Amino acid sequence: MTTTLEEFLKPKFGALSVGDISQKGKARIAPIYDVKGKQIKLFLAKEPVLRTPWQVSSFDGGERCSLDIRLTPELEQLGTKIDTEVRGFIEKNSDRFFKNPPKDDWYKSIIKESSKEGYEGTLRTKVTIKEDKASFKCWDQNKNPMTVEQIKAIQWPTTGFACQVSLKGVYFQSNSYGPMLEVDMVMIKPEDEVCPFGKDDFEFS
């Protein structure tokens, strides 16, 4: 069952917990659970109102990509709740996850602060886009399913989107760890292309 952002942020939703680490390929990941011991799926928005300042891309040109979503007050609350509860749980139970207590700078927040003053931060989410397959389902504004080639052609900075994510777990590396939000489904709505000039802008005396 998928939870709305509003429901997740209510106190009655309860605290998050972190399960045991398992090896998945090269990655070491521990699942995140709700109070009932279930993994969490969230609607970040049911209407195409979310935005990203960047193209979906990977750091090293690989298949694993970042989709950083501009923060709204609600998304900032979401990131703060996840950060506070996940980090608090792991620090309280650090012997389950580390041989020695983790250093303060090892934790990687799910919120990415902007390096430019006056610009919003973003919420970090992940997708995988392979040559012939994407890890998430995508529909256009007419609710038609999109192919991988169409997904690759999306101009993300000029596109609004609705989004469902999974709070997948916590990744662990030798000197860093942090929570992961994995995109499950997206519906996009490109901006209408409107001429920025008025009808009289090109009249000269």
Average pLDDT over residues 133-156: 95
**37: helix, coil or strand?**
coil
Closest of 6, 115, 120 to residue 70, by C-alpha:
120
Contact indicator for 31, 169 with CB cutoff of 8 Å: yes
- Whether residue 183 is predicted with pLDDT greater than 80 in this model: the reply is yes
d(CA 97, CA 130): 31
pLDDT at 110: 97
Q: What pLDDT is recorded for position 59? A: 66
Largest CA distance in the chain: 79
Mean pLDDT of 163-183: 95
Q: What is the pLDDT of residue 200?
A: 52
Per-residue pLDDT tens over the stretch 9-64? 999 999 999 999 998 777 899 999 999 999 999 999 999 999 999 999 876 667 89
Is the pLDDT reported for residue 119 higher than 80? no
Least confident of 106-110, 113-117, 142-146, 148-152: 113-117
Q: Say what the pLDDT of residue 144 is.
A: 96
Contacts of 19 (CB under 8 A, 6+ apart): 30, 31, 32, 33, 169
